[in-house]
Amino acid sequence: MKMPVKFKTYCPFCRNHQIHEVEKVKKSKTTGLHWIDRQKERRGKVGNMGKFSKVPGGDKPTKKINVRYRCTTCGKAHLRKGYRVAKFELTE
């Protein structure tokens, strides 16, 4: 899917259609602070790792992307529900 860097769309802050800039939201890195992460660490890496031995299910062919829309008029950004696309490109 190709998307223009700038296009006119509704801004919930201005309550009007304004020119928006598109930013791709980067995937957040895992912090390792969750309980399951600590449990995994305790389990070690030798032998059968119980439930951690499971191979995660087949990866989906497409990934969900999140796009942030920044209004050039008020400078505020808003998000919309992510959608699945195989390829995401920003065009001029």
Contacting residues toward Zn ion, per CB under 5 A = 11, 13-14, 18, 71, 73-74
Beta strand pairing status for 2-4 and 16-24? unpaired
Closest CB to Zn ion among 17 and 24?
Answer: 17
Q: Give the three-class secondary structure for 91.
A: strand
**Rounded to the nearest whole angstrom, what is the least distance from the CB of residue 15 to Zn ion in the complex?**
8
Residue nearest to Zn ion as judged by C-beta position: 71
**Rounded to the nearest whole angstrom, what is the least distance from the CB of residue 10 to Zn ion in the complex?**
9
| Amino acid sitting at position 47 | G
Closest CB to Zn ion among 12 and 50?
Answer: 12
**Rounded to the nearest whole angstrom, what is the least distance from the CB of residue 17 to Zn ion in the complex?**
10
Q: How many CB atoms lie within 10 A of CB 36?
A: 10
CA 16 to each of CA 8, 13, 19, 42, 69: distance values in angstroms, whole numbers, following the listed order: 10, 8, 10, 53, 14
